[in-house]
């Protein structure tokens, strides 16, 4: 089979230009370098505009300096019945949400947690039952 004259001379996974272009020599790199020369004046002008009441300039500066404030829910303890089943715990969560003692988001998270716990309990119970069945089978043999 003849090799195509258009086929690359390098192997798959190997670059055809191992040295490649040096970082910062492309159009974006040149633009950044041109702006970097004037950066102190640009920042000073933005600060001046912000101090003069330009809300957009103030917003731009603040977004770059301060991280956004995230809303945080306050913990809201709820009373669960002693030795409650998972269903009883779920009812208590829904009752607390209905009474306004829990935020809907908190109630949803707690219900999801109870659902996950139910799956874990079910898995443990199934593992115990399987072990008991296998033990009984081995005893018979």
Instruction: With beta carbons less than 8 A apart as the criterion, state whether 39 and 31 touch.
Output: no
For 54-72, how does the pLDDT look when each residue is reduced to its tens digit (9 = 90+)?
Answer: 999 999 999 888 888 888 7
Q: Tell me, yes or no, if the pTM score tops 0.85.
A: no
Q: Residue 138's pLDDT is what?
A: 85
CA dihedral 13, 14, 17, 18 (to 10 degrees): 120
Q: Domain coordinates of the chain in residue numbers?
A: 27-65, 86-140
């Amino acid at each position: 089979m003849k090799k195509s004259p258009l086929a690359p001379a390098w192997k798959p996974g190997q670059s055809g230009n191992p040295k490649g272009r040096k970082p910062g020599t492309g159009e974006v790199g040149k633009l950044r370098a041109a702006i970097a020369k004037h950066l102190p004046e640009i920042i000073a002008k933005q600060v001046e505009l912000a101090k003069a009441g330009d809300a957009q300039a103030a917003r731009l500066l603040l977004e770059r300096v301060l991280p956004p404030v995230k809303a945080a829910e306050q913990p809201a303890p709820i009373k669960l019945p002693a030795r409650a089943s998972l269903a009883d715990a779920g009812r208590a969560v829904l009752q607390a949400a209905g009474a306004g003692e829990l935020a809907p988001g908190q109630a949803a998270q707690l219900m999801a947690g109870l659902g996950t716990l139910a799956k874990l309990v079910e898995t443990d119970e199934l593992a115990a039952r399987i072990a008991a069945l296998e033990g009984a089978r081995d005893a018979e043999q």
